[in-house]
Amino acid sequence: METRTKRAWMFVYGFLELVCVGSSPLSSVVFTRSEVCQEAVLPCEWGSHSEVSSETPYIQWQTLRNMVFERMGPAKFQAEAYQNRADVPEAVLAKGNCSLHLSDIRFSDAGIYECYLVVGKTGSKQRIFIQSVQLSVLDHKSTRVVEMGKDLTLDLYKSQAETVVFQSSNGDEWRELWRRGDRSRVEERDGKLVIGNVGASDEGIYRVIDGEGLTISTVKVSVQEPPRPTRTNLVEKRVSFESSVGMNSPSLPLGFLLIMFLYLL
Ligand SMILES: *[C@@H]1O[C@H](CO)[C@@H](O)[C@H](O)[C@H]1NC(C)=O
């Protein structure tokens, strides 16, 4: 009797849960984050919606305001703001995985995304809510130590970078080092900025900034003096001395023990 009521309650709870998930898109938000200019995968699975498993799935991803991506078999639609950046691979989708791939993430991509499955025939189409994903977009932050005389390379994140500015550690002025399309005073190699033969005056903060004036990346650089050669020699000498002692030492206690043994006899 008791187990029966329990089971009934479990059924009711299960039913309520189903209704909630089905009716309110925000009831099952998944949070994901990505650094700007990188890739993001917004997770989603429709496999449990067995009512459509026999058909070619028709999937829609949208933000609260705009359509982002649609796919039905090989046919796909990408909104203009997501041109060449959004996809749900067809083969993966057929297996029940409707995760949205976004590449070259922008700050403006941040927000809530919803995934829907479209079912039914033309004229009586229905949308089934599958998943909400909140995407946060972060800037890059790092610190670097560079030896004096060496090269400092900085990622340009070229798809979105507009300028690179520098603030010396003993000043508060920002100086422009690079600008998109301009002839740069600083060498550019494989999408990276290369500052050669680093000196004390190159110590400070480097910022990559996008067209909206937002910071894509902040790199705090400190410049270190190269290690003094005399000290290294000293350490090397000590190491070689210790190792030679270490090699001879096993015979020392052995000989001592032998003498002690003979003495005791
Ligand atoms: C769904 O596919 C994406 C790649 O498209 C993958 O990262 C993710 O792990 C897959 N999810 C599951 C549950 O297999």
- Which residues does ligand 1 sit against, CB inside 6 Å? 41, 45, 89, 92, 97, 99
Domain spanning 140-224, CATH architecture: Sandwich (2.60)
Task: Note the pLDDT tens digit of each residue in 128-164.
Answer: 999 999 999 999 999 999 999 999 999 999 889 999 9
Top-ranked range on mean pLDDT: pick from 87-96, 206-215, 242-251: 206-215
Closest C-alpha residue for ligand 1 atom 9 = 43
Distance between Cα 249 and ligand 1 center (Å): 60
* Residues of each domain in the chain carrying CATH 2.60.40.10: 30-138, 140-224
Which atom from ligand 1 is nearest to the alpha carbon of 97?
Answer: 1
Among 3, 57, 42, smallest CA distance to 132 is for: 42
**Whole-angstrom Cα distance, residue 135 to residue 243?**
57
Name the pLDDT band for 123 (thresholds 50, 70, 90). Answer: confident
End-to-end, the C-alpha distance of the chain in Å comes to 91
Name the pLDDT band for 120 (thresholds 50, 70, 90). Answer: confident
Distance between Cα 87 and ligand 1 center (Å): 13
Among 97, 129, 89, 92, smallest CA distance to 113 is for: 129
- Judged against a pLDDT cut of 50, whether residue 24 lies above it is answered with no
Q: Could you give the C-alpha distances from 52 to 14, 79, 163, 173, in angstroms and in order? A: 22, 25, 49, 61
Give me the CATH code for the 30-138 domain, please: 2.60.40.10
